[in-house]
Structure 1
Amino acid sequence: MDKIMMWVMAICALIGGVDQLAGNKFGLGRRFEDGFQLLGPTALSMAGLICITPLLSLGLEHTIVPLYRILHLDPGMLGGVLAIDMGGYQLCKELAQDPAIGRYGGIIVGATLGCTITFTIPVGMGMLGEREKPLFAKGILAGLCMHPVGILTGGLMCGVSLGKLLFQSIPVLILAILLVFGISRFPDGMIHGFRIFATVIRSAGTIGIALGAFSYMTGLQLLPGLTPLDEALKVVSSIGIVLLGSLPFAEILQRLLKNPLEWIGEKIGLGRNGTAGLLVGIVSALPVIADMKRMNEREIVMNAALLVCGTSMVAAHLGFVLGVDAPATGALLAGKLTGGIAGVWMAWRIMK
């Protein structure tokens, strides 16, 4: 699966490059260029956190990890509360006793629950108006309710047995339940907490980049144990290379799915804006959130539900996994697809 996807990305990168040279006649050259331009933002969000991952791991080793071991839980699940591309994958990999659990926590949980906590919720609640916020929250709740479908599917494809998967997922499922309760009962307080958490993560990344840059230029480490910044940037660069193909691929996929999804949208009561949101959502959450002001109530809830598991499925997250752990590509796609569809179905049932 991973080799097939890598070939597809490579071919799409060639197509995008050729279209760019031809003057962007088919709109794929622009997406090719977008992939390259994402290197900067990707580096800002990832490189610093990769630098300080050993320190985060050390801190957790002396605090929460002993409790996990007493409970026979794999500490590799701890990093799953961070987005896959915001240090979650590296932290899970660093802490994991079982590599399969580290892969499951860092890729499957990090690309769904971690992304929802550190990005989708704080960004969405910060961008949306008063009409959209409660509907967005309702959609997030629907997505979280069906989140286990996605992570269990992805976990099984990571090679983890069902019994082990269920046991190791207990903290994640408890956290998801608490989030559902908190968002439904104390939405303002929860959103404030998410924003603080996201700010802390961004600040930690900035500190990591600054310390890494100082160490690279002087040879002195202000904090021992940091991952060298140039090594962190190698990881980012590998992801950026894949993005050169994954964004044109996402554009092609959106065009191929446009008519079928519009037909499905008509059957389930989605208008053009709602259907377009589902198409864009598998690429990026930001444009969907920005367009929610033009959606009706059902469309907002269903699109928000998709974002919990399905966002960035064929763009940033796919590019990340192909860049750092290609054999897990099938697990990522299966988990995000099943979880996203289940979330949309739950939202449709709620709004029916």
Structure 2
Amino acid sequence: MAGTIFMRIIALFVVIGGLDKITGNHLKLGKEFEKGFLMLGDLALCMTGILCLTPALVERFRPWMIKTGRFLDPSFFSVFLSADMGGFSLAQGIAAAEETGVLNGLVTASMLGCTLVYIIPAGYGIIREEEKEPFSQGMLIGTLTIPAGTLAAGIVMRMPGMLLLKMVFPVFCIAVVIAVGLAKIPDRMVRGCILFGKLITALATIGLIPAAVTHLTGYVVIPGMLPITEAMEIVCGCGIILLGAYPFLKALTRVMKGMLHRLALWMHVDDTSMDCLVFALANAVPVFTEMKKMNRKGVVLNGAWMVPVSAVFGDFLAYAANVAPRYLSAMIVGKLTAGVLALLAVGFVMRRE
């Protein structure tokens, strides 16, 4: 129900953004309408090949992954991939049940997997040297709140208590390991995540090539791959949702401007830091580029916030609405719960700054 209402709000902003573009962009929402749809190219490049390749990989490695079922749900392996870059597709193919696949492959993977595959490699590649230490501190705090987000999503999904605890415990263990790694050996952690991110990007291209060749020639290069047209249907569905998601977030920023300013004063951070909390709901890249304008506490705050929350109303909203609309509200609640806890934790840790 909540997911349906939210999608109708997005549809309303598709109309508003489209009309504003036609009439001269007077509300500045037409530009966001266009920006959202132009994201389609980047999404297609990073998602299509992975979506095509995942079924073939699942078929190859399924027996080995299923052997872990005595200790872990097999879909746990998906939490190391971003949900929209193979995490959910992998979970669907090996999960013991639909709900466990959603919790690991959609909810947790959109936080933990996204951090490993995207936020750490992209963030350290964009921000300046002097911002890396507070950014790492923020990510450490944000990573530790991921299990709470998984727990909140599981409660929304009405999963049985013991099963939910069994799902959350390994996530907690991995989150602690990553947090300790960021605290003790940050350089090695960053290098490892950059290498992992490059591997996933390479897999996306590797998957795209045989999928395109099969579509163009009819010759099956890799048996078991998803047809490229079916993968593109998912990607195009994401692009349609982003048509309205970007104008919605732009309007939300304007409406909340006064409140964000008051929050900035209360939390002893600058206005840029508070604005970027809203930007992160759509995409993390604008936050990275704006960190040079933030004070130290603002960098920590945004580093913690984006780990669980990144793109909750952007790419992940679009992806979840296309592949698992029944669980859209669970994903949103899970990511936002962890995000709010991350902000509170930063406030507690840095209460004297």
Corresponding residue of 2:50: 49
Confirm whether residue 2 of structure 1 aligns to residue 3 of structure 2.
Answer: yes
Question: How far does residue 45 in structure 1 lie from its aligned partner after superposition?
Answer: 0.9
DSSP-derived class of the 1:223 partner: coil
In the other structure, the counterpart of 1:347 is 346
Uncovered stretches (5+) of structure 2, i.e. residues with no partner: none
- Name the amino acid aligned to 1:16: G
Are the equivalent residues in 2 in contact too, given 1:283–1:311 (CA < 8 A)?
A: yes
Offset at residue 55 of structure 1 (A): 2.3
Identical pairs, percent: 32
Task: Kindly state the Cα deviation for residue 44 of structure 1 after the two structures are TM-superposed.
Answer: 0.7
1:100-249 paired onto structure 2 within 5 Å: 100-249=99-248
Shift of 1:22: 0.6
Deviates more, 1:15-24 or 1:253-262: 253-262
2:241–2:318 contact (8 Å) kept in structure 1: yes
Q: Could you say which residue in structure 2 is the equivalent of 1:19?
A: 20
55-64 or 315-324, which deviates more: 55-64
Shift of 1:77: 2.3
Q: Which amino acid aligns with 1:105?
A: N
Does residue 337 of structure 2 align to residue 338 of structure 1? yes
Q: Report the CA distance shift for 1:348/1:144 in structure 2 as closer, same or farther (over 3 A).
A: same
- Verify the 8 A CA contact 1:109 1:151 in the aligned structure 2: yes
Q: What is the distance in 2 between the residues matched to 1:162 and 1:324?
A: 26
Give the conservation status (yes or no) of the 8 Å contact 2:260–2:271: no
Amino acid at match of 2:23: A
Paired residue for 2:66?
Answer: 65
| Matches of 1:152 and 1:254, distance apart in 2 | 29
For 1:308, the equivalent position in structure 2 comes to 307
Distance 2:127 2:60 in 1: 36
Contact 1:113/1:309 (<8 A) preserved = yes
Task: Report Cα offsets for 1:291-330 as digits up to 9, x if no partner.
Answer: 1111111000011000011111222211221222112121
Deviation at 1:147, TM superposition (A): 1.7
Residue ranges of structure 1 left out of the alignment (5+ in a row): none
Partner of 2:297: 298
Match of 1:281 in 2: 280
Check conservation: 1:250, 1:315, Cα contact below 8 A. Answer: no
Deviation at 1:255, TM superposition (A): 1.6
1:254-276 residue CA offsets vs partner (Å, 9 max, x unmatched): 22222212212211112112111
**Structure 1 residue 170 displacement after superposition:** 2.5
Secondary structure at the aligned position of 1:63 is classed as helix
- Note if contact 1:284-1:311 (Cα within 8 Å) is conserved in structure 2: yes
**Is the contact between residue 55 and residue 89 of structure 2 (CA under 8 Å) also seen in structure 1?**
no
1:331, distance to aligned residue in structure 2 (A):
0.8
How far apart, in 1, do the equivalents of 2:310 and 2:91 lie? 21
Q: Deviations over 1:35-57 (max 9, x none)?
A: 21111110111110001111221
The TM-score normalised by the length of structure 2 is 0.96
- For this pair of structures, how many residues does the alignment match? 350
Instruction: Give a deviation string over 1:174-229, Cα, whole Å, max 9, x none.
Output: 11111011111111111100011000000000011111000000111111111111
Between the aligned partners of 2:169 and 2:66, the Cα distance in structure 1 is 15
Q: CA deviation at 1:102?
A: 0.8
Contact residue 253 and residue 275 of structure 2 kept, 8 A: no
